[in-house]
A and B are shown apart, each in its own frame.
Chain A
């Protein structure tokens, strides 16, 4: 049979701002080649032209519509490491609260996209509706729904508003109960099992070799989480576990995300209970000393690595960002070999890739 070249994207219902070049033989995909770059904004170069403070809203947009708080945290970590800055306790807790709320929002978004890939539109709407509750909570905390610019160098910009704690706990309780509905509707759905179990199996050895990070790596059974391994901010004070999958298939990748939502709720409850009183921001000079630093944080999609070279001025000499989606993208061609065409969207969505994140 002849091999057909099929191009999916960038204007295709399932591809975001990606293009995939497929070699299809009948209904079997032989090879998938991702074509990225549709959302390249040159953020790394842009960051060299702006001061550290001006960079805040830019860096946030590396991964803006899903996980800007988690993304931002890494940038602040690397600056503060280079400056040797110790942030006030309350600010650390507030940063963690924002990041974990954002992780929940991101995972709910991932779950809704996942169910769309399998064709179940009901579960597109349900998590998206509940994500709104979390975004509303974040809006009360930070003033914005999506891009917060909330955490800043030396602390956070605003304190918790009155009644935030009670409202947050109430909504987290609701979300925990609501997760049961998701399990009934999606994760225990037999048809859903047919579509996702044993689809796109990523073995642990392959995952480590390819450099896959985040929930995708944990779904393959590798217990790696920067929050536990190299605790930053105040993550060492919380009691939480790292959920891992067994088979490393698409189903496990979704289930790990659902379990992580539960762990995030766990962390948030402890953080809201333990949060100390005190200042939320420390005054810092706008100049970062000369030197080099590398930090990594666990954002919703995985590990964000930031490599900063400062030259003693107000602007970074070089800021290299290693985003999780870019590192997970490499698993896609690896998984899409000799599979049915209908599995391509599921594997692609199960990796939870964000084009903006890949391109920077």
Chain B
């Protein structure tokens, strides 16, 4: 049957193989999962070093690294019983973790990871309006969280869900405004074209204020410390996923890291020039795509370390302080960035759009 399916999609055989590679391995199914496993391990080990602890130790191939600890945790979690609270809304309660993981991994499909030699990009689904699609996917997340918190029918879950919704919705405004200045500068909604506009100079140099707003906005969107108010365990135990157990909990945890994967990819695309970088000789010989992917992943890794480090050095801020900062600092800064971008157009236009 496999032999016929690519005919239905209207693709020839090499195109079909490429699609399968994209969907199943990179940047599709396997990549976010692998990213989650590696980042969970790295986060635990890295934070342990900051906190003068040892971290995961015993499980895994190399001595004293605990490399396979996330996989062991995952196996433990899927063995556990799935408990649904008595008064929970069964359907929504069971659907929410799946939706969370799905939505979190969806945005990866629209991100270009490398250019292909013959034109086109290494991405699952190409659309000239990918930036808008990504923003649309981001707006779906608060509703899943509210649904999960409401369906759990627990006070802590409800409080956590409402906090998450407040935080996510209010930080979408500065985020969208900052992305507007990116769109102004590159003149397109296409993520791939945004990367190509940065071939001579990265947007982080042209728009430092926008970068900071987007980084903080994205950290707030995915609720990383110091903005992990929805999960504040000192106040609301674990926030909206408090009641989830077993596989459902594992799905929610993994979806957090899918989000991290998507967010770091997006910031790389918007500000760090995506795949641009000098060609790596060894990888370039195999395929120029690999060289682009290498640079992309390197930039993602640096961003991931920066985002994770917040957990080691910051206390959590309070929800009203966060919302205040979003409305009174974030939005003015984003508007300032747009104004600067518009006023300095004559200087950056030759750099970005080649005169």
> CB-CB < 8 A to B321: which residues of A?
194
Bound Cα distance A115, B314 (Å): 10
> CB-CB < 8 A to B155: which residues of A?
4, 6
> CB-CB < 8 A to B315: which residues of A?
115, 118-120, 189, 191-192, 195
Q: Are B237 and A13 within 8 A (Cβ)? A: yes
> CB-CB < 8 A to A6: which residues of B?
155
Q: Are B235 and A344 within 8 A (Cβ)? A: yes
> CB-CB < 8 A to B226: which residues of A?
119, 191
Stretch at the interface among A62-70, A146-154, A236-244, A335-343: A335-343
Name the one of B233, B314, B320 contacting A13, with C-beta atoms under 8 angstroms.
Answer: B233
- A13-B234, A119-B225, A126-B52 are known contacts. Are A194 and B318 too (CB-CB below 8 A)? yes
Q: Are A119 and B318 within 8 A (Cβ)? A: no
Which among B225, B232, B235, B318 has the highest number of chain A CB atoms within 10 Å? B235
Which of A3-35 touch B at CB < 8 Å?
4, 6, 12-14, 27
Bound Cα distance A27, B155 (Å): 12
> In the complex, what's the smallest C-beta–C-beta distance from B320 to chain A, in angstroms?
6
Q: Are B235 and A14 within 8 A (Cβ)? A: yes
Q: Are B234 and A121 within 8 A (Cβ)? A: no
- A14-B235, A194-B321 are known contacts. Are A341 and B311 too (CB-CB below 8 A)? no
- A125-B51, A195-B317, A342-B318 are known contacts. Are A119 and B237 too (CB-CB below 8 A)? no
Which of B201-244 touch A at CB < 8 Å?
225-226, 228-229, 232-235, 237
Bound Cα distance A12, B235 (Å): 9
Q: Is B136's CB within 8 Å of the partner chain A?
A: no
Q: Is A205's CB within 8 Å of the partner chain B?
A: no
> In the complex, what's the smallest C-beta–C-beta distance from A117 to chain B, in angstroms?
5
> CB-CB < 8 A to B312: which residues of A?
121-122
Interface of A is mostly: helix
Bound Cα distance A119, B319 (Å): 13
Q: Are A340 and B159 within 8 A (Cβ)? A: no
> CB-CB < 8 A to A122: which residues of B?
47, 50-51, 312-313
Bound Cα distance A303, B318 (Å): 33
Q: Is B353's CB within 8 Å of the partner chain A?
A: no
Q: Is B89's CB within 8 Å of the partner chain A?
A: no
> CB-CB < 8 A to A14: which residues of B?
233-235
Q: Is A271's CB within 8 Å of the partner chain B?
A: no
Name the one of A121, A185, A345 contacting B235, with C-beta atoms under 8 angstroms.
Answer: A345
Bound Cα distance A126, B52 (Å): 7
Q: Is A124's CB within 8 Å of the partner chain B?
A: yes
Bound Cα distance A189, B315 (Å): 9
Bound Cα distance A185, B51 (Å): 11
Q: Is A39's CB within 8 Å of the partner chain B?
A: no
Bound Cα distance A118, B226 (Å): 10
Q: Is B53's CB within 8 Å of the partner chain A?
A: yes
Q: Is A144's CB within 8 Å of the partner chain B?
A: no
Bound Cα distance A73, B232 (Å): 39
> CB-CB < 8 A to B159: which residues of A?
27, 341
> In the complex, what's the smallest C-beta–C-beta distance from B316 to chain A, in angstroms?
3
> CB-CB < 8 A to A344: which residues of B?
235
User: What mask results when residues 122 to 162 of chain B are scored 1 for a CB within 8 Å of chain A, else 0?
Assistant: 00000000000000000000000000000000010001000
- A195-B317, A342-B319, A343-B318 are known contacts. Are A119 and B232 too (CB-CB below 8 A)? yes
Q: Is A116's CB within 8 Å of the partner chain B?
A: yes
Q: Are A119 and B228 within 8 A (Cβ)? A: yes
- A13-B234, A14-B234 are known contacts. Are A118 and B313 too (CB-CB below 8 A)? no
User: What mask results when residues 176 to 219 of chain A are scored 1 for a CB within 8 Å of chain B, else 0?
Assistant: 00000000010001011011000000000000000000000000
Q: Is A129's CB within 8 Å of the partner chain B?
A: yes
Name the one of B225, B232, B319 contacting A27, with C-beta atoms under 8 angstroms.
Answer: B319
Q: Are B51 and A124 within 8 A (Cβ)? A: yes
> CB-CB < 8 A to B319: which residues of A?
27, 340, 342
Which among B228, B237, B315, B316 has the highest number of chain A CB atoms within 10 Å? B315
Given contacts A118-B234, A194-B318, 13 further A-B pairs with CB under 8 A are A6-B155, A13-B234, A13-B237, A118-B316, A120-B315, A124-B51, A125-B52, A125-B53, A191-B316, A195-B315, A340-B318, A340-B320, A342-B318
A-B complex: 6 closest residue pairs judged by Cβ atoms: A119-B316, A118-B315, A125-B51, A120-B315, A345-B234, A14-B234
A–B pairs, 10, beta carbons within 8 Å? A117-B234, A119-B232, A119-B234, A119-B314, A122-B47, A125-B52, A125-B53, A189-B314, A191-B315, A344-B235
